[in-house]
Structure formats: structure tokens, C-alpha cells
Chain A
Amino acid sequence: MSSLEQMYQAVILDHAKHPVGRGLAEVPEGHLAGESHQVNPTCGDEVTLRVDVSVDAAGSTVAAVSWEGQGCSISQASTSVMTELVTGRDLADVARLDTIFHDLMSSRGKGLDDDEALDALGDATAFTGVSQYPARIKCALLGWAALKDSLARSGALAG
């Protein structure tokens, strides 16, 4: 497989064409809501992402992620894959996935040795090929930056 094909894996192209979570959704009464607008100033890609956090005695869970944006296939697919991955996860899980995904993006195309971590990422491991192109790593991280900021703005991370 060429570097280009490693980068544009079928799962990435599928998500880019049929993104998950596209279209901002209302957050139900009683849930925490946070919204973030992120741009990649070098290319003008942007995403507005809204997170819906449900809080109960067991803890805080990402109930839903919805977003709007425009950008390259990598930024759109990455935001879509992330939406699938984090929905229904508790916030500690989301933080762990965020760390693993950032580690993957810093791997310069080598990927991660940690099988457990890779399992946790699921489809997001398809972005390994992106990490060998420094100029594109920001594209893959745009949605993740918006999620992190949305969670901070929702107040769910407080305490």
C-alpha cells in the first residue's frame, strides 16, 4: 500500500462522505452542554462542535456529540470517527482516548506498540498514515480540539 493509500484508508473516505454527528443537535434539559468553534488558520478548515453530557450518580457521560464544519477529508473523517468513538463514554474514558489519539498522531507514521490502546481507538487507528504527514496532523486533531474545549466549556470537567 502506498503512503497515500495508507493515509486515505477506506474507513476515512467513508466517514468523509457519510459523516457521523453532522448537524448541531439540541441538548436536552438537565444535561450539560458545551460548544466550541475551532479553526485551522493555515487552511481555513473549521468545526463547530457541541457536546451533550449527562450527569448522574455514576458520573458524567458523553450522551451525544454533534458538529458542523467544512474542511478536508481528514478533518471531517476524524471528527466523524471521534463522534462515534466517544459517544456513550464516561469522561475519564474520553480523556484517555484523547491522549492515545494524540500519541498516535505524534508517531510519525509508526503507530503505537500498545495493542490495548489501539483496540480502544477502534476505527481511529486508520489515521496512523496521517501521522507521517506533519502538515496534516492538525487536520486530524481539529475535532478532538473542539471536543476538549466543548467539554471544558460545558462545566462537566469541574471538580
Chain B
Amino acid sequence: MTTTDAVRPTGPGLGAVLSDAELAAVRADFPLLGRTVRGGRPLVYLDSAATSQKPSVVLEAEVDFYEQRNAAVHRGAHQLAEEATEAFEAAREAVAAFVGAGAGEIVWTPGATAAINLVAYAFSNATAGRGGAAAEPFRLVPGDEIVVTAAEHHANLVPWQELCARTGAVLRWFGVTDDGRLDLSNLDEVITERTRVVAFAHVSNVTGAVAPVAELLAAARRVGAYTVLDACQSVPNLPVDLPALGVDFAAFSGHKLLGPTGVGALYGRRELLEAMPPVTTGGSMVEVVTMEATTYAPPPQRFEAGTQMVAQAVGMGVAAQWLGELGMEAVAAHERELAAELVKIAEIPGVRVIGPVDTADRLAVVSFVVDGVHAHDVGQVLDDRGIAVRVGHHCAQPLHRRFGVAATARASASVYTTADEIIAFREALAGVRAFFGVD
């Protein structure tokens, strides 16, 4: 299979919700959804925000790559090398098109965490004097400020803390309101002339809240700060056009996008990628190497040192294509309905949702606590009914601390989730307190 062939029947079209038959066809594409768990119970997989399941075409694309095309890419002139390179670059085009970008603006990374670290270390290397005059805009001085939010996944927080520690820049952040939205009431105090980078999640992996992207980007633009969007939760679930949004950089992973693990993408505006110094150095990212000095390849290869995760990239390309052919408008419409079903857990006695309970500007990712029952124990009872949810802090300890809890349980949906599954989840959740005798 190549990414020029269609990978599934096309979806219902703009704005339309998936019909029952279309949803059944979607589910039939995911082999894992057919299995049972815990003594023969049907699986109700509500952990897609952690990692999504994968359609057969993605798995087949990886197998096909290894069986038919496997070779080192961007080196060698034999036929397999040509075909492998073609598949790798076609996947890049597919992923780029999926987010409205040019292929030259997509850098393969091992995941979203690596993508964000790449940007942070590029600033660091520029600050250390690397990258020549072109990298001047990325140089930080003590007193410069980097702005994040208290709702960030650790992957969009710790790399910036570390960058601050290396450069003398100061980390600042927006707070979170009681209903789990970003608190921008002090926007002009947090984003100032000292701000050099504003990094935030498009959609919180805990609360499911969609960030006020336009407002944050406008504030960053006013002061000339670069913007970095953690798009891990948005790209798989919403139509996202990164250049139209106007962000400078964005990171998203393959494995949450119905694709393989071990691959993700960094989007960067072309002129910024061209100006950025490399981070990981070695083979394949160079032009001329002498014993004294090295010149570097243009992006994206400049940021892709070493042998790449080619089969996974091919799989991610097919996953993006699969979603594109179904139609992200339809995916988003389907998941809006699921989000409305999910937030109804707030009506269950003893259940408290951490995040907005209204359905506006939120995705089908809902974290919650059950009074008197620890999240682990909640998860265990649900698991016994075949319902897979995430428990813990979801790599967002500061946000949990903000709400005075160490751990929450989280239910999250994807394109293949059904309303019946959410109803089964709500019924099981309603019985948790009785099981532990805290009713």
C-alpha cells in the first residue's frame, strides 16, 4: 500500500455526524476493539487520550513496508532505497497535509515529547552561540521570560523549566479557573515585552478544555514572542490547520493519532526551521563534514539525525490519511456527542468532574474524582467491568495540585467510541461508591 491509494471509504462529509452504519464500519477497522478482557467482557476502551487504537490499514502499512520496501532512506541508489525514501516522504506529505502544513515544515521526531524538547534545545543551542546570525532570534538572555500554563502536560512544562535553568530565562505561567479553563484575566501581566516563548496545550489532556488559542497567539504576537502549541489532544480529534491558527511551532504524536508508537511530528514555520540550529547531530543531517567543522542540511533533514523510524512514519502517514478520508469534521461532530454523554457523569452522586462540565470548547476527555474512593480503586472496579480508563495524575501534577487532588480517573473517547460505551461507563461508575460502602 502506498499513501496515494485510498485507505477507507470516504466519510459522511462536512458537518455530518457518523451514522450507526458508518460508526460500525469505523469500529470494524480496529482489530483490537473486538477482543474481550477480564473474563470475557467486551472491551470498553476509554483511554484514547493516553494512546489510541490503530486501524488495520496502519498495521498493514508497517508490515508492507518491512515486507516490500525496507531500506535506509535518503541514502543509497538502489530500488529499495528509492521506494523506502518515497514512502517516508509521502508519509511526511500526508501528515503535513493533515494539519495544513507544507512537507518542509514537518520534522519527524520520536514523539511529541521529543518534538517539544527539540524546540527547547534549539533555543539552548542558539543561546550557546550556535547557528550563526540566523539563530539570533532564538538567543535568550537572563531575564527573558517563557510563559506556560498550570494545565500543561509535563512534556510541555519540564523542557521549558530546563531551558530556563540553562539560560537564566524565567518561567511564568497562567493559572486555571475553578472550572478548569485557562485563567487569562492577567494576560497583559504574564505576557509582556520580556516574553520570548509562549507554550501551551491546544486541548488539556486532563480537563479536555480547548485553550483560547487566538487570544494567546495575539498576545504573543503583540510582544514578538514565539508560540509553541502542544497539539497532541487536538490533532486527532478536531480539524486543525496549524498555519491558519498561526502558531510558530506545534507538536503531536503518532500513537494518539491512530498511528504507531515511536513517531511524532514537529511542525515549524519554514523560515523558523531554516533559522534554527540543529539539536541532535550525526549522520544524515549534514552537508559537508571535515575534521574541523560541519555544515548542516536544510530542514527538515537538519533535525533528523540518524536512522529514522521509517515504518512508523509510514504508519503515521496512513493514519492521518485514514482520518482525513473519514473527515475530521465528522470525527469532531461525533466526539462532540460523546463529550456531551461523558460530562453527564457530573450528575452521579459523589462524582466531581475536574474541568468544565459544559460542552462548549471541550473535547471528550473528562477527568473526575469519586468522593471517598481513590482513583486507583475507581479504575479497578471499572476495569472489572471491562472498562479501561486512565488513573493517576496523567503527567499533569501541577494541575492536580491546583484542584487539591493527587490523582483522578479519566475517561476519553476517540472516533471509534460509541455512546453506548459511555452509557455502560456511567452505569458502572454509578455503582463504585456502593462497592466500597461509602454511599
User: Given that A8-B435, A13-B436, A72-B374 are contacting pairs, would A44 and B400 also be in contact in the complex, using a CB cutoff of 8 Å?
Assistant: yes
Q: Does A139 contact B (CB under 8 A)?
A: yes
Contacting chain A: which of B12-20, B196-204, B275-283, B391-399? Answer: B391-399
Interface string of B404-431 (1 = CB under 8 A from A): 0011000000000000000000000000
Interface string of A3-14 (1 = CB under 8 A from B): 110011000010
Size of interface on B: residues with Cβ below 8 Å to A: 20
The 5 lowest CB-CB distance pairs between A and B, nearest first, are: A72-B376, A44-B406, A72-B374, A4-B384, A43-B392
Are A7 and B380 in touch, CB under 8 angstroms? yes
Interface residues of B (CB under 8 A from A): 38-39, 373-377, 380-381, 384, 391-393, 397, 400, 406-407, 435-437
**CB interface residues, A 1-56, toward B, < 8 Å:** 2-4, 7-8, 13, 17, 42-46
Pair B376/A139 contact, Cβ less than 8 Å: yes
Q: For the side of the interface on A, what is the size category?
A: 20 to 34
Is A44 a contact partner of B407 (Cβ separation < 8 A)? yes
A7 CA to B39 CA in the complex, in Å? 15
Tell whether A70 is near chain B: CB-to-CB under 8 Å: yes
Q: Which residue of B lies closest to A10 (CB)?
A: B437
Known A4-B380, A4-B381, A139-B376: A70·B38 in contact at CB below 8 Å: no
Closest B residue, CB atoms, query A43: B392
23 contacts between A and B (CB under 8 A): A2-B384, A3-B39, A4-B381, A8-B377, A8-B435, A13-B436, A17-B437, A43-B375, A43-B376, A43-B407, A44-B393, A44-B397, A45-B374, A45-B376, A45-B406, A70-B406, A71-B374, A72-B374, A72-B376, A73-B373, A73-B374, A73-B377, A139-B376
Given contacts A8-B435, A43-B392, A133-B380, 17 further A-B contacts (CB under 8 A): A2-B384, A3-B38, A3-B39, A4-B381, A17-B437, A43-B393, A44-B392, A44-B407, A45-B376, A45-B406, A71-B376, A73-B376, A73-B436, A74-B376, A74-B377, A136-B380, A139-B376
Closest CB in chain B relative to A137 CB, distance in Å: 12
CA distance A42 to B395 in the complex (A): 9
Q: Quick check: B406 and A3 within 8 Å, CB to CB? A: no
**A44 CA to B267 CA, complexed, in Å:** 33
Interface string of A110-153 (1 = CB under 8 A from B): 00000000000000000000000100100100000000000000
Provide the residues of chain B in CB contact with A139, threshold 8 Å.
376
In the bound complex, what is the Cα–Cα distance between A46 and B401 (angstroms)? 14
Shortest CB–CB separation between residue B303 and chain A, in angstroms? 30
Q: How far is the CA of A74 from the CA of B381 in the complex (A)?
A: 13
- What is the bound-complex CA distance between A63 and B271, given in angstroms? 69
CB distance from A143 to the nearest CB of B (A): 15
Q: Which residues of A contact B38 (CB under 8 A)?
A: 3
Which residues of A have CB within 8 Å of B406? 43-46, 70-71
Flag if B384 contacts A42 (CB, 8 Å): no
Which residue on A lies nearest to B405, using beta carbons?
A44
